[in-house]
């Protein structure tokens, strides 16, 4: 699909999409959202970019190979459980601590958020793996 | 901390063994042996404490809610086995480093054998039954790798699989037995169960528990009729055979029987099942042993026989019998390991193991010959070797047994004669007589190869001359642990002129006779054994073949490879089952409340219906996809109306991605055409109507029925206080049910990699 409008739109929309997906991921614990939806949105951004600019360009924007992203995501998700292991807690017990952020106020950070980030990465990885493989055919 | 550290250290060394081999090369065996040597020293340092009756326990939480702990227990029995495993293991490592030097997979070998050693230590030191079971299965698994070490040979792989299947099935029975035992004793810790033997023996589950545990122990310790895997396991490299047969694998079953005898022993069922199985095994094993001409096979079958003897003695359960069992066990470990290592050295030097063709080796391999001779004399029960003391006690235990003492003594004597002849064939024959032409010119092997046999055979002699070395320090605590109260053990070579000595003398005479006429005897026996067709090996092969036939048959039927049939089966079976449940539980009766449906809901329903209809009626793929999109987005709207924004979000994103995926795929699809006939289409329509109708009925019913108290209120109440989140859906996903999510993303990842592999895989056309 060779359209200058689509290309330009994709170039400007992708960062917005990605930013939005991160917001969805971060706010997911308290409002609709989370790693799965955020991941789908982010993947959508890359797919959109791939339709406009081709898979090769989109892969370059992704920086990491999609299947590597799957592995990293799984590791992050699994890694979030390590604290519970060393604290002699049942597997995957959550741990929370509150960060005092300038301007933003108090930000609770916990292992579920790390876990969700892992889900986010896996979803991006899987979706882009499938779409890019199909599109390259 | 000491016990778990000792086990873990071996596991860790196992992990790093391949790396160690890259650095250490030829010296790796010696380096790796330092750890088990250190462990042996550590265990020896515990002897004084254990001797004074102290029991060491260690426990770590694992799954406390199920009573499963990573707990360890060390008393006299565990200590004896742990010492044998670590010290023999060290010798085996040194030996294997030389025996297998230059083997391309030697690094991996160290990994396997150390893993095996660690698992074996785990078995004998575990307190919790489940912990014990895990280590038990680890020994099966690591011995699978060891037996199949020469994995490019078909026989190796078959033997490894055979061992794994037989001991694995036994292991499953054992797990069931352990779980029942845990129920009967209301606890999974051995340290507790050992004190509640009476309660368990009177429990209604006693008989199933005993039978299941025996299935596990008998398969592991190669009792008839499960004995056939053990000689096949001779496909393993000789150091492995030496280790498996002397101190470890097959002794695990013996250990288990000994360990559990305070809990399960003492009943008639125990007595008869163990003595019958044991006596049969000891005769069959010894009888098979003298028919072999392969050094390793002779030793393997004689191991089977000894395992039978040990089982029988544990079954008798008297103080004398237990004493005899422990002494015999130690004696057997010493001479059997030595003889196996000698067999390996002979094989290594001459390139063959046929006792009928080997001869005169003592001239070229004097050190090995001396070790072999000492070990063989111990095995045949000559004084002043430790084997002699064991044999005396064995006969004495048989003579004083309450039931069928004469029969047992007779059978024992026969076994003793056969084993005597076997010992001569394996340990003496290759070294005496004329020299034959051999595949390789033999030479005295290096120290790594004779050190083990010399030390082991020497210990057999030393313990025989001075039984005080082991009786109070090792044997007595082990016997006390099995019997349940302190038992003094005083061993001596000379008991005076008594019936036992006479029986021993008759055995020696008979054994000498058998040894003299062995070639004629073997000829007769081999003709006899041709008559027996229904051997366990045969049965094993038949059942394996049958299993494969059934597997391929059901694969042909169920896994046709056509997606349309899969879908057909899934939909019809699922809906039929749902419908059956609905009807049989009276779910289809009663009015369905349709009064509170809003007009926009009805509108959406109509939209969904139209979309679905259009998608099956259209002749264009794109139209069909767009129509399905209408269905999907309408469903998402319904989610929003009913307050599930997360679901709606996901639904919309998935719908969008599906359309994109389809657009990518559509180029590759062939032209649209109607492939199915009218009848097939009618059939499909009926099935889909049936499935859809059933699911609709189910959903309508489900919304009106509440079987169980809802769990959503729990999540709603605890979401913020426990998980710091107000979005219940997300809290469930990442906190309350995070393990499920972890599983799901793993499945997702596997699916993604699968798609990638399928698309990137360029299959070569056939015949090119």
**Beta carbons of B255 and B185 less than 8 angstroms apart:** no
Contact B755 A110 (CB under 8 A): no
**Beta carbons of B98 and B12 less than 8 angstroms apart:** no
Burial class (CB in 10 A: 0-12, 13-18, 19+), B301: buried
| Chain A, chain B: beta-carbon pairs less than 8 Å apart | 139
Q: Is the pLDDT of residue B248 over 80?
A: no
In chain A, which residues have their Cβ closer than 8 Å to the Cβ of B656?
44
Taking any CB pair shorter than 8 Å as contact, residues of chain B touching chain A are 61, 645-646, 649-650, 653-654, 656-657, 660-661, 664-665, 668, 723-727, 729-731, 733-735, 738-739, 741-742, 745-746, 748-749, 751-753, 755-756, 759-760
Residue A104 pLDDT grade (very low, low, confident, very high; cuts 50, 70, 90): low
Question: Which of B96, B84, B44 lies closest to B241 in space, CA to CA?
Answer: B96
Compute the average pLDDT of residues B30-35.
Answer: 92
In chain B, which residues have their Cβ closer than 8 Å to the Cβ of A51?
660
B272-290 per-position pLDDT tens digit: 999 999 999 998 888 888 8
Question: Which of B208, B190, B188 lies closest to B258 in space, CA to CA?
Answer: B190
Of the candidate ranges B207-216, B395-404, B615-624, the one whose mean pLDDT is the lowest: B395-404
Question: Which of B614, B645, B650, B612 lies closest to B631 in space, CA to CA?
Answer: B612
In chain A, which residues have their Cβ closer than 8 Å to the Cβ of B725?
29-30, 112
Contact A112 B731 (CB under 8 A): yes
Question: Which of B85, B119, B92 lies closest to B29 in space, CA to CA?
Answer: B92
In chain A, which residues have their Cβ closer than 8 Å to the Cβ of B729?
32, 34
Compute the average pLDDT of residues B565-572.
Answer: 89
| Rounded CA Rg of chain B | 34
CA-CA-CA-CA torsion sign (B185, B189, B190, B196): negative
Compute the average pLDDT of residues B485-503.
Answer: 80
Q: Nearest CA of chain A to the CA of B761: how many Å?
A: 11
B545 φ/ψ angles, rounded to the nearest 5 degrees: -60, -45
pLDDT of res. B576: 92
Q: Is the pLDDT of residue B317 over 90?
A: no
Contact B727 A33 (CB under 8 A): yes
**Beta carbons of B14 and B115 less than 8 angstroms apart:** yes
Q: Nearest CA of chain B to the CA of A2: how many Å?
A: 15
Q: Nearest CA of chain A to the CA of B4: how many Å?
A: 17
If one compares B491 and B307, the residue with the highest pLDDT of the two is B307
In chain B, which residues have their Cβ closer than 8 Å to the Cβ of A41?
653
If one compares B128 and B230, the residue with the highest pLDDT of the two is B128
Q: Which long-range contacts (CB under 8 A, 24 or more apart) does B628-635 make?
A: B628/B658, B629/B655, B629/B658, B629/B659, B632/B658, B634/B604, B634/B607, B634/B608, B635/B608
Burial class (CB in 10 A: 0-12, 13-18, 19+), A109: middle
- Closest partner CB to B753 (pick from A67, A113, A116): A67
Report d(CA B695, CA B693) in Å as an integer.
5
Interface-testing mutation among B727, B734, B755, B757, with chain A (most A C-beta atoms within 10 A): B734
Q: Is the pLDDT of residue B124 over 80?
A: yes
Report d(CA A71, CA B261) in Å as an integer.
49
What residue in A sits closest to B658 (Cα-Cα)?
A131
The residues, any chain, with a CB within 8 Å of residue A105's CB and separated by 6 or more, are none
Contact B745 A119 (CB under 8 A): yes
Question: Which of B308, B311, B268 lies closest to B284 in space, CA to CA?
Answer: B308
In chain A, which residues have their Cβ closer than 8 Å to the Cβ of B654?
40
Q: Check whether the bond before B6 is cis (ω within 30° of 0).
A: no
Q: Is the pLDDT of residue A27 over 50?
A: yes
> What are the DSSP calls for B419-458, one per residue?
HHHHHIIIIIGGGSS-----SS---PPPHHHHHHHHHHHH
Report d(CA B260, CA B210) in Å as an integer.
10
Question: Which of B516, B368, B364 lies closest to B436 in space, CA to CA?
Answer: B364
CA-CA-CA-CA torsion sign (B64, B67, B70, B71): positive
Residue A51 pLDDT grade (very low, low, confident, very high; cuts 50, 70, 90): confident
B664-721 per-position pLDDT tens digit: 787 777 777 777 788 988 998 899 999 998 988 888 877 776 667 777 788 888 888 8
Contact A125 B749 (CB under 8 A): yes
In chain A, which residues have their Cβ closer than 8 Å to the Cβ of B742?
77-78, 81, 92, 115
Model confidence pTM above 0.80: no
Helix, strand, coil distribution of chain B in percent, nearest 5: 75, 5, 20
Report d(CA B81, CA B79) in Å as an integer.
5
Of the candidate ranges B49-58, B221-230, B472-481, the one whose mean pLDDT is the lowest: B221-230
What residue in A sits closest to B722 (Cα-Cα)?
A94
Q: Which long-range contacts (CB under 8 A, 24 or more apart) does A56-63 make?
A: A58/A128, A58/A132, A59/A132, A61/A14, A62/A128
Contact B752 A131 (CB under 8 A): no
Q: Nearest CA of chain A to the CA of B57: how many Å?
A: 20
If one compares B121 and B361, the residue with the highest pLDDT of the two is B121
pLDDT of res. B768: 45
In chain A, which residues have their Cβ closer than 8 Å to the Cβ of B724?
29, 94, 96, 108, 110
Q: Is the pLDDT of residue B751 over 70?
A: yes
**Beta carbons of B359 and B429 less than 8 angstroms apart:** yes
Compute the average pLDDT of residues B420-447.
Answer: 82
Question: Which of B224, B241, B242, B223 lies closest to B232 in space, CA to CA?
Answer: B241
- Structure tokens of B541? 């092969």
3-class DSSP state of B277: helix
In chain B, which residues have their Cβ closer than 8 Å to the Cβ of A129?
752-753, 755-756
Angle at which helices B76-99 and B28-45 cross, to 10°: 170
Report d(CA B75, CA B190) in Å as an integer.
12
Biggest distance spanned by C-alpha atoms of chain A: 58
Q: Is the pLDDT of residue B637 over 90?
A: yes
Of the candidate ranges A22-36, B112-126, B720-734, the one whose mean pLDDT is the lowest: B720-734
Report d(CA A35, CA A19) in Å as an integer.
13
Residue B534 pLDDT grade (very low, low, confident, very high; cuts 50, 70, 90): low
- Structure tokens of B676? 């199915």
Count each helix (H run) and each strand (E run) in chain B, helices first.
Answer: 32, 2
The fraction of chain A above a pLDDT of 90, given in percent, is 36
Question: Which of B116, B152, B394 lies closest to B242 in space, CA to CA?
Answer: B116
Report d(CA B107, CA A77) in Å as an integer.
33
Report d(CA B656, CA B658) in Å as an integer.
5
Report d(CA B228, CA B635) in Å as an integer.
62
Question: Which of B763, B520, B534, B572 lies closest to B684 in space, CA to CA?
Answer: B572
Residue A70 pLDDT grade (very low, low, confident, very high; cuts 50, 70, 90): very high
3-class DSSP state of A1: coil
- Structure tokens of A102? 């300038």
- Mean pLDDT for chain B? 87
Q: Is the pLDDT of residue B180 over 90?
A: yes
Q: Is the pLDDT of residue B137 over 90?
A: yes
pLDDT of res. B274: 92
Tokens 């086990």 correspond to: B7
B402-429 per-position pLDDT tens digit: 767 778 888 888 888 888 888 888 888 8
Contact B739 A92 (CB under 8 A): yes
Interface-testing mutation among A39, A114, A133, A136, with chain B (most B C-beta atoms within 10 A): A133
- Closest partner CB to A32 (pick from B649, B734, B746): B649
The residues, any chain, with a CB within 8 Å of residue B618's CB and separated by 6 or more, are B624, B627
In chain A, which residues have their Cβ closer than 8 Å to the Cβ of B640?
none
Of the candidate ranges A91-105, B33-47, B353-367, B594-608, the one whose mean pLDDT is the lowest: A91-105
- Closest partner CB to B653 (pick from A41, A78, A130): A41
Q: Hey, which bits of B40-163 come out as E strands? A: 56-63, 68-74
In chain B, which residues have their Cβ closer than 8 Å to the Cβ of A28?
727, 730
Residue B14 pLDDT grade (very low, low, confident, very high; cuts 50, 70, 90): very high
- Closest partner CB to B738 (pick from A28, A112, A133): A112
pLDDT of res. B254: 93
- Structure tokens of B503? 């029986």
What residue in A sits closest to B651 (Cα-Cα)?
A37
- Closest partner CB to B727 (pick from A30, A44, A70): A30
């Amino acid at each position: 699909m060779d359209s200058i409008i689509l290309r330009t739109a994709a170039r400007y929309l992708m960062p917005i999409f990605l930013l939005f997906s991160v917001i969805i991921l971060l706010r997911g614990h308290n409002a609709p959202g989370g790693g799965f939806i955020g991941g789908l949105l982010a993947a959508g951004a890359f797919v959109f970019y791939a339709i406009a600019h081709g898979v090769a360009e989109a892969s370059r924007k992704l920086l990491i190979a999609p299947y590597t992203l799957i592995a990293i995501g799984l590791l992050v998700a699994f890694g979030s459980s390590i604290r519970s292991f060393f604290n002699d807690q049942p597997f995957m017990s959550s741990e929370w601590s509150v960060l005092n952020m300038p301007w933003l106020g108090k930000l609770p950070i916990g292992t579920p958020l790390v876990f969700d980030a892992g889900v986010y990465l896996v979803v991006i990885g899987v979706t882009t793996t499938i779409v890019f493989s199909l599109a390259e055919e | 901390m000491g016990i778990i550290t000792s086990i873990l250290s071996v596991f860790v060394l196992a992990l790093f063994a391949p790396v160690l081999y890259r650095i250490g090369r030829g010296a790796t065996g010696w380096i790796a042996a330092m750890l088990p040597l250190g462990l042996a020293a550590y265990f020896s340092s515990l002897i004084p404490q254990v001797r004074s009756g102290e029991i060491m326990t260690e426990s770590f939480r694992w799954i406390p809610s199920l009573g499963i702990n990573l707990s360890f227990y060390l008393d006299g029995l565990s200590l004896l086995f742990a010492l044998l495993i670590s010290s023999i293991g060290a010798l085996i490592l040194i030996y294997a480093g030389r025996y297998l030097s230059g083997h391309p997979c030697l690094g991996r070998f160290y990994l396997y054998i150390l893993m095996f050693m660690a698992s074996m230590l785990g078995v004998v030191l575990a307190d919790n039954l489940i912990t014990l079971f895990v280590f038990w299965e680890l020994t099966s698994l690591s011995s699978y790798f060891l037996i199949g070490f020469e994995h490019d040979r078909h026989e190796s792989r078959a033997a490894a699989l055979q061992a794994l299947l037989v001991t694995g099935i036994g292991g499953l029975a054992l797990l069931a037995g352990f779980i029942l035992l845990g129920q009967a004793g209301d606890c999974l810790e051995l340290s507790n169960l050992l004190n509640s033997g009476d309660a368990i023996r009177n429990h209604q589950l006693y008989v199933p528990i005993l039978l299941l545990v025996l299935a596990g122990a008998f398969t592991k310790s190669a009792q008839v009729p499960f004995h056939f895997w053990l000689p096949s396991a001779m496909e393993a490299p000789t150091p492995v055979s030496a280790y498996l047969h002397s101190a470890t694998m097959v002794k695990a079953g013996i250990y288990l029987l000994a360990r559990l005898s305070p809990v399960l022993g003492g009943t008639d069922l125990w007595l008869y099942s163990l003595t019958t199985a044991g006596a049969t095994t000891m005769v069959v094993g010894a009888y098979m042993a003298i028919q072999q001409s392969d050094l390793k096979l002779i030793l393997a079958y004689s191991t089977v026989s000894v395992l039978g003897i040990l089982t029988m003695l544990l079954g008798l359960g008297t103080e004398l019998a237990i004493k005899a069992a422990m002494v015999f066990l130690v004696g057997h470990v010493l001479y059997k390991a030595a003889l196996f290592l000698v067999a390996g050295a002979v094989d290594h030097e001459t390139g063959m193991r046929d006792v009928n063709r080997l001869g005169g080796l003592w001239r070229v391999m004097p050190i090995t010959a001396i070790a072999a001779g000492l070990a063989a004399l111990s095995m045949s029960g000559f004084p002043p070797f430790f084997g002699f003391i064991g044999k005396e006690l064995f006969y004495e235990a048989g003579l004083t047994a309450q039931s069928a003492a004469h029969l047992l003594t007779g059978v024992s004597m026969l076994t003793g004669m056969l084993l005597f002849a076997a010992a001569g064939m394996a340990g003496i024959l290759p070294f005496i007589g004329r020299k034959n032409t051999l595949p390789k010119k033999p030479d005295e092997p290096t120290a790594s190869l004779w050190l083990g046999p010399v030390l082991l055979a020497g210990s057999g002699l030393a313990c025989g001359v001075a039984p005080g070395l082991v009786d109070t320090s090792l044997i007595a605590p082990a016997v006390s642990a099995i019997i349940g109260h302190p038992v003094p053990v005083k061993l001596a070579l000379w008991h005076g002129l008594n019936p036992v000595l006479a029986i021993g003398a008759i055995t020696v005479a008979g054994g000498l006779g058998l040894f003299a006429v062995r070639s004629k005897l073997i000829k007769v026996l081999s003709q006899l054994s041709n008559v027996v067709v229904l051997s366990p090996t045969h049965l094993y092969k038949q059942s394996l073949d049958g299993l494969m036939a059934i597997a391929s048959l059901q694969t042909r039927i169920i896994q046709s490879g056509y997606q349309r049939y899969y879908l057909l089966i899934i939909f019809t079976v699922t809906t039929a089952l749902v419908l059956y449940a609905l009807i049989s539980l009276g779910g289809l009766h009663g009015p369905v409340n349709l009064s509170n449906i809003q007009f926009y809901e009805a509108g959406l329903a109509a939209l969904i219906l139209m979309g679905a209809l259009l998608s099956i009626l259209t002749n264009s793929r794109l139209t069909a996809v767009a129509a399905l999109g209408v269905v999907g987005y309408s469903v998402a709207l319904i989610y929003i109306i009913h307050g599930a924004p997360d679901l709606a979000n996901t639904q919309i994103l998935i719908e969008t991605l599906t359309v994109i995926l389809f657009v990518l795929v559509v180029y590759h699809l062939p032209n649209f055409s109607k492939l199915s006939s009218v009848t097939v289409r009618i059939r499909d329509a009926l099935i889909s109507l049936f499935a859809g109708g059933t699911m609709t009925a189910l959903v309508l019913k489900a919304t009106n029925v509440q079987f169980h108290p809802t769990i959503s209120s729990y999540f709603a109440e605890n979401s913020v206080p426990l998980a710091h989140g107000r979005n219940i859906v997300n809290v469930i996903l990442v906190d309350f049910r995070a393990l499920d999510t972890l599983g799901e993303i793993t499945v997702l990842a596997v699916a993604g990699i699968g798609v990638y592999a399928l698309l990137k895989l360029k299959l070569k056309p056939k015949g090119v």
